[in-house]
A and B are shown apart, each in its own frame.
Chain A
């Protein structure tokens, strides 16, 4: 009874506050635990967190212009882009000095490639000017304005200078604007002309098609998982091997197999024509479009839906169904009111897996998607490996990551993430 009236912290036997004492006792345990997971932590940090951080950073990084053309950037600060005139000699002289250094370090073409993403033609302006500037005597060879314009009259174009000025800060939102079908115009951000808009369309298409693929996977995987979960284990294991078999085949092989199946001179069309269901001159178009992508990707991602469903269904005690039936429920009611709700965590886990995998797919859409069935990831891959516009690729990737996180959050709000069970 006296305890309840006592105020102040509870003390351990030696008089130190109990909380501190407990904390000390636990610290050694925590340290030991931390040591045990340290290798994994380092691995995850090095191969996962750091690269993602780098990607996020690259989508706004733009120090190449200021680093390569430091004098030009300063000289260009006072130039008024709205004047419609190329800047004066002072700016050209600064550019000549910068280019002299840059061309000897062979960095001038890099800045040219960077600015060429924004305004076509700048790449060759820098390449050509760099060739000359290498041999200039910056102190005495001036004035330079005439010489630059003689090398290429593109240097007289105020648009070129506006681009250099716009992209002189060390950080830019230009990549993100680009990724949202916008650009930095004379009056700030503006929407791109219709003939250049593509990313919003692709984002939408990627999301919608991923949802369709996820839905198709649910419909096809559910009965399979149910059979697996309800067969005696010997037979279930055999069937499980069939489910896993595709994993042991190369993705390319499986995708190519779908080509053989689906193309107009392919197995399915041949069969339909032979059966007389389809006229020979009206063969079905099932590939190089969205349908092809949906079919091939549903097939490839199906195991990712079956496995979590199976592991959840396995834990559903058959006595629930018996109980429902004993209470007067028909087979359908017992399934729909009792079994199905209990299997929802499996559907949820499978859907999240399939959807997130689908949203990042690019090999299959590239091969069977034609023009209407490609995903945003195809453009990301293009910018990584072909156009080398890694900043834009990073911005697109960041947006995709954000979209996934938002959807995950929404899923958590609507369905509840504790309602997901992977096994």
Chain B
């Protein structure tokens, strides 16, 4: 496996020219998400500067690939879209540039400095937040009878909602939901989860539905499973559910209770030449200003990371519906949310993952 990565890095090192004149490679997740970035950021930026942007849909393996490129001494990516936890990991490993947010990013139109406009969403020195998304639940409206689920704990209620449910194949979020539904107060979740007993308690709660769970690894799986009627309810990213409901008219409803907020944003890989780094910073300055972030919400139902962008969110570009009610940050949706603790997971992820996988394999 590693051998392959290194070989890959070595080959790219041999083949790629050292500096590409008026091009930059931007890495993202692909699909509708990349398309929204293309429309909201890339095309205006190319129109303004003439710099060609090459899209690379490798964000899912971004951390490993950046590390391999870094070891091979040839980083071919300029700007990379990653989730916050990956940004922290890259920052910890010295694989992403640390940034002075106020110096390199635009202030809000009213003059508020960027660090305040983004606020505590700047979870790492290397990270420029872009959107707020959530991992939340969708359910089949035609399979839940007259009483659609209203609480995240309905996931654990096999009597009321028989059938399969899909959950992401990782401990993050699932463990928190399990403890919450086992009666742990929201503010105590991470304290409990930090103890061996807490882990056992969470897994025991998950055990009650283990046989009815379909575990997913790609965000597209739950919408498909819901559409096929394979599962009654399942977690996924809220934007995926939005497109299944609003764009594909599937009989799916949203369950926002205890949605797990997460962040996605940009990093600049460490080890770029000064010229490329400046160009990457120029792109970031452009793409993360108040108006651009609000523009992206025309194409996908993820909330802009700047406070100043929220009032500018308008209608869906083609469907013409108001986007605000579909945002995870909308007050109607954000009544009971789960804020996931990046620092805690950075420390405990490997350990908990080992236990979670051992539990899965049992």
Contacts and interface: CB of A to CB of B under 8 A. Distances in A.
Interface of A: 46-48, 51-52, 54-55, 58, 106-107, 109-110, 112-113, 116-117, 120-124, 127, 194-198, 201-202, 205, 263-266, 288, 366-367, 370-372, 374, 377, 379-382, 384-390, 393-394, 397
**Chain A: interface secondary structure?**
helix
Given A120-B350, A388-B64, A109 B93 contact: yes
Interface hub of B11, B98, B353 (most chain A Cβ within 10 A): B353
Interface residues of B, number: 47
Contacts of A372: 361
B347 A47 contact: no
B360 interface: yes
A51 B1 contact: no
A113 B92 CA distance: 7
Interface string B336-354: 0000000100111111111
A202 B217 contact: no
B234 to A, nearest CB: 13
Contact of A52 (B3, B5, B91, B358): B3
B98 A106 contact: yes
14 contacts: A47-B7, A51-B4, A55-B1, A55-B2, A110-B93, A127-B346, A196-B355, A198-B358, A201-B361, A264-B164, A288-B214, A371-B215, A384-B5, A386-B63
B189 interface: no
Contacts of A384: 1-2, 5, 64
Contacts of A264: 164, 230
A106 B94 contact: yes
B2 A51 contact: yes
B276 interface: no
Nearest to A201: B361
Contacts of B230: 263-265
Interface string B214-236: 11010000000000111000000
A255 B164 CA distance: 21
A381 B357 CA distance: 14
A265 B347 contact: no
Contacts of A201: 361
Interface hub of B2, B91, B230, B355 (most chain A Cβ within 10 A): B2
B217 A366 contact: yes
B3 A265 contact: no
A393 B214 CA distance: 26
A120 B350 CA distance: 8
A123 B92 contact: yes
Contacts of B205: none
Contacts of B351: 120
